[in-house]
A and B are shown apart, each in its own frame.
Chain A
């Protein structure tokens, strides 16, 4: 861990909880997610003011405001582009990004591949509820085929995106899944994701109590959940992870699908190296126009 990390135990989960009252419906899975984030941050121990928490638009994207970190509730689908600018501008910060399945895999679906290939050290948490809750229950990119919603009254004709397979295929170094069915497991997974030096993705199955289907509520999720460590999955095995990820939607595998055992250098670390190399003998900024002198 980097030297700027403070001693664990110095911060408690409640130090990351803000005074803002969530707008989320009581019973929403996102309450557990934010609780899991408080606990993960406390375990990592970075002070709140060194954490930048960026989100898009959607119910779940309200989450930064419920923490005491520097928050930025941006525009729909653009949490990742903004988060990467923050991390590149100040690599010392701990940067979290979060949003819903629509934010991450529909309107903002083009960005995730690029963050993965750049390997910027950001933890991206998607609160996946298979529905658009904020706009009252429309089809989402992870809604099951055949699902009826107000925009698919005769049943959806589309196959859902598989978020896990998607990020695994693009080569993310850390891919995990969590759910409010196991808060302790979620906090541990989030902590591991934050500690992973590189882009880390955590899909959280977070039920929508207002528009979610019965099978996707806590009880239904518990019935299909299975701990990856309990079934003996080796998180270093990317192909096995992809194999398991194919069961997204039928099974709820919890824990780490894939964790690169030898994390490559992150983009932000490489930037620092480049800055250090090139700063030698740089022209003072006041004399930058000397570059245009023709003799």
Chain B
């Protein structure tokens, strides 16, 4: 069975490892989304998802560095099998011909989701250092949301038209 996270017994090392895995999952999903957009001729969204993947990777790396400073090469006890779409956008968020605005909204929804994850976990945490880390991660999600929102604001106003009204019919295979 897929292992569940036992928040009550989570150590700081576990929590850091978990955070790295969460970023890792999100990075992979954004890369996957970018590839989907390439495959479906949606270049602007692809570019944005690739940017998100880089951000997640960068964040993941920072966390990983912290982990190795504190705990060196100690074998982790948490695994990727415990992480299910925490910060990774749901597959349902992607659409062919999605606009950059829609892509950003998808990313925003993921940041909101991740924020909710840390908020929900806080009451179960016993270790003060872990709690501090989760609070920090929770707040970072708020910052990320603000960043995406700022990007959104830079976009020209939404025309209100749907791309689906212009594109070709799907092709039978």
- Does a CB–CB distance below 8 Å link A and B in the complex? yes
Chain B CB within 8 A of A100 CB: no
Chain B CB within 8 A of A49 CB: no
Can you list 8 pairs linking A and B with CB atoms under 8 Å apart?
Answer: A9-B79, A23-B173, A26-B96, A39-B2, A136-B169, A183-B84, A209-B95, A218-B90
Residues of A within 8 A of B37 (CB): 26
Chain A CB within 8 A of B28 CB: yes
Within the complex, the shortest CB–CB distance from A44 to chain B, in Å, comes to: 11
Residues of B within 8 A of A (CB): 1-2, 28, 32-33, 35-40, 42, 79-81, 84-85, 90-96, 98, 169-173
Given A29-B92, A31-B36, 17 additional A-B pairs, CB 8 A: A12-B80, A14-B28, A21-B36, A27-B93, A27-B95, A31-B94, A43-B1, A43-B2, A59-B173, A134-B173, A180-B90, A180-B92, A184-B2, A184-B84, A192-B1, A210-B170, A217-B92
* Dominant secondary structure of chain B at its interface with chain A: loop
Q: Which 9 A-B pairs have the closest CB atoms?
A: A26-B94, A184-B84, A31-B91, A218-B92, A26-B36, A136-B172, A134-B173, A32-B91, A188-B2
* Dominant secondary structure of chain A at its interface with chain B: loop
Residues of A within 8 A of B2 (CB): 39, 43, 184, 187-188, 191
The one of A13, A31, A135, A180 in contact with B172, judged by C-beta atoms closer than 8 angstroms, is A135
Within the complex, the shortest CB–CB distance from A222 to chain B, in Å, comes to: 10
On whether the beta carbons of A28 and B91 are closer than 8 Å, the reply is yes
On whether the beta carbons of B91 and A27 are closer than 8 Å, the reply is yes
The one of B28, B92, B173 in contact with A27, judged by C-beta atoms closer than 8 angstroms, is B92
Interface centre among A26, A28, A35, A59 (most CB of B within 10 A): A26
Chain B CB within 8 A of A75 CB: no
On whether the beta carbons of B81 and A42 are closer than 8 Å, the reply is yes
Residues of B within 8 A of A207 (CB): 92
Residues of B within 8 A of A35 (CB): 91
The one of B1, B33, B85 in contact with A26, judged by C-beta atoms closer than 8 angstroms, is B33
Within the complex, the shortest CB–CB distance from A28 to chain B, in Å, comes to: 7
Bound state CA distance, A136 and B173, in angstroms?
8
On whether the beta carbons of B84 and A21 are closer than 8 Å, the reply is no
Within the complex, the shortest CB–CB distance from A250 to chain B, in Å, comes to: 21
Bound state CA distance, A35 and B83, in angstroms?
12
Residues of B within 8 A of A183 (CB): 84-85
Bound state CA distance, A189 and B169, in angstroms?
36
Interface centre among B32, B39, B42, B92 (most CB of A within 10 A): B92
